[in-house]
């Protein structure tokens, strides 16, 4: 029997194998499908259509951009002026070693685009305060995210978002702590509703004559000595000159010291250079200070050092071994070795730049080993002179670079919270928006949320009536603004009022010299802010802030036009202040300043730069031109400049100086 014929006893139909059931292919879910399942169709649609702005592409910014892209926000604009530094790589995970010195915004766009090519990312390597980022531009966004690290930029974005009536999600971190806050004009408190701590400054005489803490010596090395020898002479930004008048004689002596240092500067690169500099700042200057006996009645006088004696003791030290251990607190002799070696390296750089015809100025950079070694050694030698504890190079880098160590997981948590709050904003549920505080080492919850605070009626930024006006800047005078906008359009009529800007008062009933001058002559341009203060004693309006917009179309017979018709302008009256009863003393537990309890008790964790602080929810002191009840501001004429050089602070981009008192 032919095997191919099968079994003749079995019917042919029975020999055909039964068909195997094929699995039904499951539908392939796209990223958008998952997002729609998670968020709901309506919210997901809003996310895909949203055009958002993120300011800052650093620690929080990298994490936030990744989240925005993965969530599917339709268009994301990123603004950052900074470039990538080596110290960024441990927490800003969109960047790699090959990106050092490149634009943060541009590299972040390139890296994040790979996560979701469907999202449109637009990068701007620029300063958010540039003229191109005007109110009209801010108005084009659905939400603005702040991922900044300095007070000035945060305040600017806060003001622009209020003027453009765009929701702002403010965030910040400091070490393990973090905060997220939703800001909506007229609904929640703005960034300036609570006062902010002033960056730390130091009287010049403390830095130069009577240091008492390591930070004083570090600031001296970084902002004074380094700049006098290798930089653009004295860095005045490090010193507070408010008490100079009380120390006129000492200030003159300090100026003579600076002149002498400039002469030593000319000997850069010579064999005698290190000894000349050492003996000048650690012997001659110290001997002069010791001779001022009144200065040392209540404190230990400094001890001058002998260069040759110290050098003899340091000859046996291995320079490379000393430099290798940044965690060790160097001895006085080891600091001299580093001092001389860093001077040699810096001098070589100066001479090479000069021979190449390039600028020979060297400035401090915490990641520049040459300048860091010089500042560390100089500061420690000065500390030894004044009997102050020395610090390791690692500690000095933290303090000189104004660094509070950043934690990658803190940035990630805060960035996630920003997106969660953004969902509430997109749905218009501002009543559900929270101020969220991340405090891992608090006694209560790690993540604590408070209901968003209401706007502070005394806030000089949001406790005002905001409007805009279109102006022909080529024709409009201050008088046109007074007659056609303030008196007519805004309804001031015959009220007495004053007009001021960030520089000072432009007009009031007793100051009318500027009325016939063009706004351009008074420094007023597109996106300038003018504050109108009602001086009526009976029923004064709240302050009015007018954002000036350059007219793009002819305005007719009047060169000024309000954005609203007169009948639509509703300026509220200032609330009448109720007299406060006399406080009654009651026994309370002793406290050291205000307390934070996961953001409770009206306190705010302010994260300007990197340093947290507690601030009361309401300020009793206002010194801003927009404050009608604050101190008087100076009146200005055309082409006058603000005199803002009286007090200057140490305020690097990374935040405030940290003082270690232990």
Kindly list the catalytic residues.
205
Contact present, 633 and 505 (Cβ < 8 Å): yes
Number of helices (H), then strands (E), belonging to the chain: the values are 20, 18
Q: Quickly count: other Cβ atoms within 10 Å of residue 511's Cβ.
A: 16
Are 437 and 179 contacting, i.e. CB atoms less than 8 angstroms apart? yes
- Asked if residues 506 and 530 have their Cβ atoms less than 8 Å apart, the reply is yes
| 272's tokens | 């005698």
Q: Output phi, psi for 531, to 5 deg.
A: -110, 130
Residues found in the chain: 662
| C-beta separation of 230 from 361 below 8 A | yes
Residue 583 is classified by DSSP as: P
- For residues 406 and 93, give the distance between their C-alpha atoms in angstroms, rounded to a whole number: 13
Q: Give the residue from 652, 213, 662, 214 showing the smallest Cα distance to 396.
A: 214
Q: Which two tokens stand for residue 97?
A: 């070693």
- 619-622 contacts, C-beta under 8 A, 24 or more apart: 619/194, 619/195, 619/456, 619/458, 621/195, 622/458, 622/460
Question: What is the residue-wise DSSP string for 168-181?
Answer: EEEEEEETTEEEEE
Q: What's CA 576's distance to the chain center, in Å?
A: 35
Contact indicator for 54, 81 with CB cutoff of 8 Å = no
**Cα 61 to Cα 350: distance, rounded to the nearest angstrom:** 37
DSSP code string of 216-254? HHHHIIIIIIHHHHHSSS--GGGEE-TTGGGGHHHHHHH
- Quick one: angle between helices 393-400 and 369-385, nearest 10? 100
Six-digit token string for 184: 């909506």
Angle 109-115-120 from CA coordinates, rounded to 5° = 50
Q: Rounded distance, CA 397 to CA 401, Å?
A: 6
Residue 30, token pair as written in the block: 């796209």
């Amino acid at each position: 029997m032919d095997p191919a014929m099968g079994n003749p006893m079995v019917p042919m139909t029975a020999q055909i194998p039964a068909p195997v059931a094929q699995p039904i292919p499951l539908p392939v879910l796209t990223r958008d499908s998952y997002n729609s399942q998670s968020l709901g169709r309506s919210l997901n649609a809003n996310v895909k259509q949203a055009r958002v702005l993120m300011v800052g592409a650093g620690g929080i910014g990298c994490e936030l951009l990744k989240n925005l892209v993965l969530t599917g926000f339709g268009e994301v604009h990123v603004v950052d002026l900074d470039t990538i530094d080596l110290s960024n790589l441990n927490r800003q995970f969109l960047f790699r070693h090959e990106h050092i010195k490149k634009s943060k915004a541009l590299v972040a766009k390139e890296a994040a685009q790979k996560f979701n090519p469907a999202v449109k990312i637009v990068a701007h390597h620029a300063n958010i305060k540039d003229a191109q980022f005007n109110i009209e531009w801010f108005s084009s966004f659905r939400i603005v995210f702040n991922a900044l690290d300095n007070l000035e930029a945060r305040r600017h974005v806060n003001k622009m978002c209020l003027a453009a009536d765009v929701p702002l999600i403010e965030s910040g971190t400091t070490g393990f702590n973090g905060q997220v806050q939703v800001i909506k004009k007229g609904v929640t408190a703005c960034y300036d509703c609570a006062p902010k701590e002033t960056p730390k400054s130091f009287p010049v005489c403390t830095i130069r004559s009577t240091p008492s803490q390591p930070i004083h010596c570090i600031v001296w090395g970084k902002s004074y000595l380094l700049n006098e020898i290798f930089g653009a002479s004295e860095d005045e930004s490090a010193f507070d000159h408010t008490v100079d008048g009380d120390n006129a004689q000492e200030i003159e002596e300090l100026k003579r010291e600076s002149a002498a240092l400039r002469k030593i500067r000319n000997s850069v690169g010579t064999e005698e250079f290190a000894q000349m500099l050492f003996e000048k700042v650690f012997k001659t200057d110290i001997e002069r200070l010791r001779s001022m006996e009144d200065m040392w009645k209540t404190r230990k006088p400094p001890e001058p050092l002998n260069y040759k004696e110290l050098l003899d003791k340091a000859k046996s030290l291995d320079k490379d071994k000393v430099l290798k251990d940044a965690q060790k607190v160097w001895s006085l002799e080891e600091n001299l070795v580093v001092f001389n070696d860093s001077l040699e390296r810096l001098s070589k750089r100066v001479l090479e730049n000069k021979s190449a015809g390039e600028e020979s100025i060297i400035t401090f950079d915490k990641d520049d080993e040459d300048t860091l070694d010089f500042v560390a050694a100089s500061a420690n030698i000065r500390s030894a002179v004044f009997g102050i504890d020395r610090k390791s190079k690692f500690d000095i880098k933290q303090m000189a670079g104004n660094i509070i160590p950043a934690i990658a997981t803190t940035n990630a948590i805060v960035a996630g919270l920003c997106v969660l709050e953004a969902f509430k904003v997109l749905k218009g549920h501002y009543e559900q928006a929270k101020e969220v505080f991340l405090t891992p080492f608090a006694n209560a919850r790690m993540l604590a949320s408070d209901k968003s605070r209401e706007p502070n009626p005394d806030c000089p930024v949001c406790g005002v009536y905001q409007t805009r006006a279109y102006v022909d800047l080529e024709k409009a005078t201050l008088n046109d603004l007074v007659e056609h906008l303030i008196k007519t359009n805004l309804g001031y009529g015959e009220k007495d009022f004053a007009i001021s800007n960030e520089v000072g008062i432009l007009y009031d009933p007793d100051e009318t010299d500027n009325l016939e001058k063009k706004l351009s002559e008074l420094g007023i341009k597109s996106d300038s802010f003018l504050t109108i203060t009602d001086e009526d004693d009976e029923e004064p309006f709240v302050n009015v802030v007018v954002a000036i917009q350059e007219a793009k179309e002819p305005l007719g017979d009047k060169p000024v036009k309000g954005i609203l018709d007169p009948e639509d302008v509703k300026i509220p009256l200032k609330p009448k202040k109720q007299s406060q009863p006399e406080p009654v003393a009651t026994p309370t537990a002793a406290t050291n300043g205000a307390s934070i309890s996961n953001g409770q008790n009206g306190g705010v964790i302010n994260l300007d730069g990197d340093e947290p602080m507690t601030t009361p929810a309401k300020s009793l002191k206002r010194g801003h031109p927009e404050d009608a009840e604050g101190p008087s501001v100076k009146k200005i004429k055309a082409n006058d400049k603000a005199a803002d050089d009286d007090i200057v602070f140490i305020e690097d981009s990374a935040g405030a100086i940290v003082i270690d008192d232990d």
